[in-house]
Structure 1
Amino acid sequence: MIIVYLSICFYHPVCAQGFTDSNLPIIIINTDQGVEIPDDPRVLASMKIIYRGPGQRNYVTDQNDPSYLNYNGRIDIEIRGSSSQVTPKKQYAFTTRKADNVTNNNVSLLGLPAENDWVLNGMVFDPALIRDYLSFNLSRQIGEYASRTVYCEVIINSVYKGLYLLQERIKADNNRVDIMKINPADNTYPLVSGGYITKADKTTGGDPIAWTMYSWDGYPVGYMHHLPKPENVTMQQNNYIHDQFELLAAEAFDGNISVADGFPSVIDIPSFIDFIIISELGSNADAYMFSTFFHKDRNGKLRAGPIWDNDLTYGNDLFFWGFDRSKTDVWQFSNGDNEGARFWRDLFNNSMFRCYLSKRWNELIQPGQPLNLSSIETFIDKTVSTISEAVARENALWGRVGNHQHQITKIKSFLSTRIAWITDNLGPYSECNNVSVPPLVITKIMYHPATSPDFPEEDDLEFIEILNNGDQAINLTGIYFSGTGFVFQFPVNATLGPHLSLFLASNASVFQAKYGVAPFGQYTRHLSNKSENLVLADGFGNVIDNVLYYDTIPWPDADGNGNYLSLTDPGLDNNMAVNWLSSYELLLSDNIIPAGIDFQLYPNPVSDILRIKADSEIGLLSVSDIHGRLLVSMYINHKSYELDMSRFTRGTYIIRIITADKAYTGKIMKD
């Protein structure tokens, strides 16, 4: 036994420190030639991640068994952080590289979505070692992206470094901050409208301040570019995104709540509310002023988040520097320190915004909800159980944890008091409760079209249909798709008549070429071929309709086979798979053939009944307005039909009929 132990320690010097195995993944990093890891520049290294699987123990000796390696490859690495660089324990940023040491290697690490930019968070200011992990998970639980994290233990150049969080770096990516990446050539509208990631932060790291805003008390707050990078941003891009923040500040200062031109037209209100909620739940001493991120997709609204650096939370602060700001009885945006730009307090002081903030908060603290005290305590206990073994080693190495259970008890006590204080001080929400929303229904979804020689780009053929399922015309001003990944906001004063529908397409010109009419509008980005949560909301974020579709059973098969999802009845719950079918019915036509059939429309102009006759059986009959909005689509299966147009307003309409092998289009006037 002694010989075996000595053999292991000879090949793995870290054994001298007593670390041989863990219930957590083990990350082993060896820099080339054993060089120290600096702040800058990055150095090359090899990295192995040992992970046998859920519930299994991992051993340092597993590094020589490929079957136990979650990653075995090249990285470049540097020390990261601002204030944290003064601590003995360091934090790191690294990029996974291919064997050439240059090319990014997009890989999944420990089950996290594939990417190449990663962080090893040492939690150096958090004696409880759970604050970032807790806040990031709570953010995701309430529906807002935050970095995914996995606890692990780290060895660098044969030296045990302690407990870390492997986490995602904030970055534009379909699985991270889900926005488009803006390019240097994107300088005219709409290209210049996104995507952006902007932050209020310290200047540590060399990133210059792009512009300055001011707090309620007149203190400067520096804003910086994260995407595009400061060295790549153009004057037009800087001016555009800066103007968005200035517009937010102006409308929030004026208290303008118009969905047409007030702050609801500029920002995604739910994301700002959720950012405030997570920041205030923990009473984050850095929130609003530092490590405060925003993002904006092309043609989309400005969104707050994702959250970052939540170590000075839940009663914790830089006590050794004389700070004690994470209190249970303050608002961090108005406590006289690190308040951030004035618009945060202006938004809070707006009665309508505060109403929605209170409503959201009171929903989230209900039993079974993510921010309910019991739910949080259960999550904390599970987390502590997972890391308790590693915490003992961390404390033995760095000596900063002390009584870990006491640290956890303090967090729970803080949360109990904090949740009660916020609830008592947010105020009522009756004014914005049970808000009436228009009866708009998502009724068709073409998320993975089939291609053809005439239409080879499948993404260009996507569309969705939205129906007004009510008896009154709807003003669509302010209505938009909230969240990320799918972007469309209806123009001011756009309307949709009763029981009429409209189409939104991914490529308006392709849609018109294929189906014969122009869609109502063109959205930005593309529908996922796997699953997407489509949330249609009003300007304040009240959900009008919500469909979370999948390409798997029990959802109907509309995955690349030419079919689309079609709701069987607009009165049914369209978030249930059973209420959808896979349809191949023509919208207007699949292949419009020039007319060659005898076809009659009369009278024209028409007041009420339009008579339609053909020399062969009519299949599909459709009516569109002059703007291309589809108003009627039905199968006739007869040579004649009488269409009641009495409910149509005056104007010009396009009538299209399709038979077994031909098509015809005609115009009629409604008087």
Structure 2
Amino acid sequence: MNLKITLKHLFAFVLLLPAIAFAQVTFTDSNLPIVIINTDINPNTGQPTDIPDEPKVWADMKIIFHPDGTRNYITDQDNADFLDYDARIKIELRGSTSQSLPKKQYGWTTYDANGDKQNVSILGMPSENDWILNGLAFDATLMRDYLVYNLSRQMGQYASRTQYCEVVINGDYRGLYVLQEKLKDDSKRINIEDISEDDISGVNLTGGYITKADKTTGGDPVAWVMQSDAQNTDFIHTLPKPEDVTVEQDTYIHSQFTALETAANNSDSDFITGYPSVIDVPTFVDFMILNELSSNVDAYQISTYFHKDRGGKLRAGPVWDFNLSFGHDEFGDRSHTDIWQFDNGDNEGPRFWKQLFANTEFKCYLSKRWNSLTATGNVLNYDNLSDYIDETVDLISEAAAREQQRWGTVPNHAAEITALKAFIAERINWMTDHVGTFTACNDPDLPQLVINRINYHPGESDEFPESDDQEFIEIKNAGNETVNLTGVYLRELGISYQFPANATLEAGQGIFIASNPEVFEVRYGFAPYGKFERNLSNSTQRLVLADGFGNVIDDVEYDDDSPWPDADGNGSYLLLTDTSLDNSLASSWTAVEESSLSVSDYVMASQLILYPNPVNNVLTIQAAENIDAVAVYDVYGKQIKAMNTNGVNVEVDFSQYQSGIYIVTITTAHGVTSKKVIKR
């Protein structure tokens, strides 16, 4: 069977099926949440206000949702037990080309009873006030956006969270929608620092920004244009808003794209001068993978977002707008299984996409990531995708029938899904055959750097009243050789730091980076190595230390809940009990008093002698000052011995312990020091 011919004929068959005339639907209940919107009465007409393109108009919204997963009924709209939302909103039409369709798409904002914007959690999504009702324009599968956004999050990149629902506006059943998050800066969305008009110099000028390559039909002015081998690409400011951006901010963020363009054109992959110094490589790789897997005809040229945090690198994404993808193109014939969209001769976007792919190192990491994601059991493996599509079909099947009855746009949903799966199967095979090898980057030589201390919620006092100013992270070289730190950076959004070129860290040594170096020095008695931007979360946060290509050197996600040790605002910080342990495990950490951190602590630690190590029976500890206490922990962090002591020499009986690794903590007047001991 010729799969290409079959796909072509199948899409043609679907498009030629006669459309059913619009019809009203008797709608009483659904397995999906039900969104009911009633706009305010227009005093001039006595009728509900029409929803315009802009400005937003007032309305009441109710979202019916049975939290136990049972069916939702229109009659539940007056039962508070089944209302996920019941308050005021402002709503308007959204979209560009899609506004020509009878079924509209909407953007809306949540408000409180006083008429002020109100952050709320909708259907379990994090609290915010800006939301979207995606009408699935031009998409007879009813899932292209939903599918890709969820895949992006499964790959570890943020994308708009989604929830299928059915919508009724002013008593009129409007069909199946995806309720989703609007892309904006927020700690639970695009987690970057908000930039103000006063941020025009120094590190404040470096972020945060959201920029997009897009059409200008929304009326926003073009910030700059980048050349392409096909069409030129317009760039538009999203954060700051076009009307708020300063000359300095426009110049700065434009310069980042120019630097990327220059480095990509020169195929410069150096950590100091090349594209890795400008961009977060993993986000660019993942962005290309999802847009190429879907053969998204809008990719790179339209609806293409970028973001940059303060002090951080330029990042691609979040991914957006996939209604013209997976073989479907409403306005041409551009979505194929056997082309690269960044080199399609039409809307290719800026040249840097094509030039990045041509770069040996970038293409190697793209291939490595692609082959990993498509391996058996992983996110983009065909079997996994097919199962996920089937699950989604089961979820929306009854709503899809109503969608066809209301709008006549889904004449044969089963055929659409068959075509979607066939396209994905062929696309995966073609990309695997054409993405190249990843042998050269499969096993990168990474330094033995370890995140060793984390003070995420320091205690407050009269002398140091601001907790955020006392935050710090220690990074330790657990290897036997000096490490060149060029290119090493903190990869995850939330805090930003990149080591300066040619910085080094000697074997066994640790360096601190702090939120406020001046306060750190006063508080702890010595200067930190550097300053990170923004602040650590007081609850949970993932910290990823990576090399210039984004290869993970160390990865820790701490938490303020058990089983993590309690270092939550009580005057303690997290200390890794030994650098040989897996620091992703809570059991590898202990909580240590902040007062123990000082220059003397390091002097004392260097003068501690433990022998013999490995030990058979008795371990001797020798120090330059009085030892007040000794404790022994097993490899899981469980304390198995504690003893108060008095003297500079202490003996600890190890004879009763099983063979293995143990952590011994020694307390003196200058603090607590941990040492690894091996029992034979």
TM-score bracket for this pair, using the shorter chain length: 0.7 to 0.9
**In structure 2, what is the equivalent of residue 415 of structure 1?**
424
- Give yes or no for the alignment of 1:193 onto 2:206: yes
Q: Deviations over 1:232-253 (max 9, x none)?
A: 0000000000000000000100
- Give yes or no for the alignment of 1:69 onto 2:77: no
Task: Give 1:219-258 correspondences, 5 Å limit.
Answer: 219-258=231-270
- Give yes or no for the alignment of 1:30 onto 2:38: yes
Q: Distance in 2 between matches of 1:272 and 1:163?
A: 32
- Determine helix, strand or coil for the equivalent of 2:202: coil
**In structure 1, what is the equivalent of residue 329 of structure 2?**
317
Q: Deviations over 1:505-524 (max 9, x none)?
A: 11111111110111111111
Runs of 4+ in 1 over 3 A off after TM superposition: 585-592, 616-620, 635-641, 658-662
Match of 1:173 among 186, 193, 197: 186
Q: Deviations over 1:622-646 (max 9, x none)?
A: xxxxxxxxxxxxx9976799xxxxx
Q: Distance in 2 between matches of 1:570 and 1:227?
A: 41
1:453–1:591 Cα change, 3 Å: farther
**In structure 2, what is the equivalent of residue 626 of structure 1?**
none
Match of 2:26 among 12, 15, 18: 18
**In structure 1, what is the equivalent of residue 292 of structure 2?**
280
Q: Which runs of 5+ in 1 are unaligned?
A: 1-14, 593-600, 602-611, 621-634, 642-657, 663-671
Displacement after TM superposition at 1:216 (Å): 2.6
Displacement after TM superposition at 1:116 (Å): 0.4
Q: Distance in 2 between matches of 1:637 and 1:496?
A: 36
- Give yes or no for the alignment of 1:452 onto 2:491: no
Q: Deviations over 1:73-108 (max 9, x none)?
A: 11111000011011110000001112233x211000
1:640–1:243 Cα change, 3 Å: farther
Match of 1:435 among 435, 440, 444: 444
Residues 216 and 345 in structure 1, CA contact (< 8 A), matched pair in contact too: no
Q: Distance in 2 between matches of 1:201 and 1:497?
A: 47
Q: Distance in 2 between matches of 1:181 and 1:504?
A: 22
Question: Which residue type is aligned with residue 292 of structure 2?
Answer: E
1:539–1:81 Cα change, 3 Å: same
Residues 600 and 670 in structure 2, CA contact (< 8 A), matched pair in contact too: no
- Give yes or no for the alignment of 1:48 onto 2:57: no
Displacement after TM superposition at 1:618 (Å): 7.6
Question: Which residue type is aligned with residue 67 of structure 2?
Answer: G
- Determine helix, strand or coil for the equivalent of 1:514: helix
Match of 1:559 among 549, 563, 568: 568
Residues 571 and 594 in structure 2, CA contact (< 8 A), matched pair in contact too: no
Task: Give 1:563-574 correspondences, 5 Å limit.
Answer: 563-574=572-583
Question: Which residue type is aligned with residue 158 of structure 2?
Answer: Y
- Give yes or no for the alignment of 1:290 onto 2:316: no
Q: Distance in 2 between matches of 1:660 and 1:570?
A: 24
Q: Distance in 2 between matches of 1:56 and 1:30?
A: 25
Q: Distance in 2 between matches of 1:618 and 1:589?
A: 17
Q: Distance in 2 between matches of 1:252 and 1:113?
A: 37
**In structure 1, what is the equivalent of residue 124 of structure 2?**
111
- Give yes or no for the alignment of 1:339 onto 2:348: yes
Q: Distance in 2 between matches of 1:348 and 1:590?
A: 48
**In structure 1, what is the equivalent of residue 108 of structure 2?**
94
Q: Distance in 1 between matches of 2:288 and 2:110?
A: 34
Q: Distance in 2 between matches of 1:585 and 1:455?
A: 12
Q: Which runs of 5+ in 2 are unaligned?
A: 1-22, 42-47, 602-606, 608-621, 630-643, 651-666, 672-680
Q: Which moved more, 1:233-242 or 1:578-587?
A: 578-587
Displacement after TM superposition at 1:402 (Å): 1.0
- Give yes or no for the alignment of 1:269 onto 2:281: yes
**In structure 2, what is the equivalent of residue 517 of structure 1?**
526
Q: Deviations over 1:45-79 (max 9, x none)?
A: 11111111142111111111111111111111100
**In structure 1, what is the equivalent of residue 657 of structure 2?**
none
Q: Distance in 1 between matches of 2:240 and 2:405?
A: 42
Residues 300 and 349 in structure 2, CA contact (< 8 A), matched pair in contact too: yes
Q: Distance in 2 between matches of 1:504 and 1:324?
A: 52
- Give yes or no for the alignment of 1:539 onto 2:548: yes
RMSD: 2.3
Question: Which residue type is aligned with residue 331 of structure 1?
Answer: W
Residues 489 and 497 in structure 2, CA contact (< 8 A), matched pair in contact too: yes
**In structure 1, what is the equivalent of residue 656 of structure 2?**
none
- Determine helix, strand or coil for the equivalent of 1:444: strand
- Give yes or no for the alignment of 1:259 onto 2:267: no
Identity, in percent, stands at 54
Q: Deviations over 1:567-598 (max 9, x none)?
A: 11101111112211222264434999xxxxxx
- Give yes or no for the alignment of 1:209 onto 2:218: no
Displacement after TM superposition at 1:144 (Å): 0.5
Displacement after TM superposition at 1:530 (Å): 1.8
**In structure 1, what is the equivalent of residue 167 of structure 2?**
154
What's the TM-score once normalised by structure 2's chain length? 0.85
**In structure 1, what is the equivalent of residue 14 of structure 2?**
none
Question: Which residue type is aligned with residue 244 of structure 2?
Answer: N
Displacement after TM superposition at 1:659 (Å): 7.2
Residues 514 and 591 in structure 1, CA contact (< 8 A), matched pair in contact too: no
Q: Distance in 2 between matches of 1:463 and 1:70?
A: 40
**In structure 1, what is the equivalent of residue 15 of structure 2?**
none
Question: Which residue type is aligned with residue 161 of structure 1?
Answer: R
**In structure 1, what is the equivalent of residue 613 of structure 2?**
none
1:636–1:193 Cα change, 3 Å: farther
1:241–1:109 Cα change, 3 Å: same
Q: Distance in 1 between matches of 2:156 and 2:645?
A: 45
- Determine helix, strand or coil for the equivalent of 1:17: coil
**In structure 2, what is the equivalent of residue 390 of structure 1?**
399
1:344–1:311 Cα change, 3 Å: same
Q: Deviations over 1:216-262 (max 9, x none)?
A: 34x21000000000000000000000000000000100011110111
Q: Distance in 1 between matches of 2:599 and 2:447?
A: 32
Residues 131 and 310 in structure 1, CA contact (< 8 A), matched pair in contact too: yes
Q: Distance in 2 between matches of 1:270 and 1:311?
A: 25
Residues 24 and 57 in structure 1, CA contact (< 8 A), matched pair in contact too: yes
Task: Give 1:429-508 correspondences, 5 Å limit.
Answer: 429-508=438-517
- Give yes or no for the alignment of 1:81 onto 2:95: yes
Residues 478 and 579 in structure 2, CA contact (< 8 A), matched pair in contact too: yes
1:79–1:439 Cα change, 3 Å: same
Q: Distance in 1 between matches of 2:177 and 2:342?
A: 30
Residues 514 and 590 in structure 1, CA contact (< 8 A), matched pair in contact too: no
Task: Give 1:350-361 correspondences, 5 Å limit.
Answer: 350-361=359-370
Q: Distance in 2 between matches of 1:440 and 1:265?
A: 20
Question: Which residue type is aligned with residue 100 of structure 1?
Answer: N
Residues 441 and 545 in structure 1, CA contact (< 8 A), matched pair in contact too: yes
Aligned length, in residue pairs: 594
- Determine helix, strand or coil for the equivalent of 2:393: helix
Residues 453 and 573 in structure 2, CA contact (< 8 A), matched pair in contact too: yes
Displacement after TM superposition at 1:553 (Å): 2.1
**In structure 1, what is the equivalent of residue 10 of structure 2?**
none
1:453–1:389 Cα change, 3 Å: same
Displacement after TM superposition at 1:443 (Å): 1.0
Q: Distance in 2 between matches of 1:564 and 1:216?
A: 54
Residues 598 and 670 in structure 2, CA contact (< 8 A), matched pair in contact too: no
Residues 28 and 155 in structure 1, CA contact (< 8 A), matched pair in contact too: yes
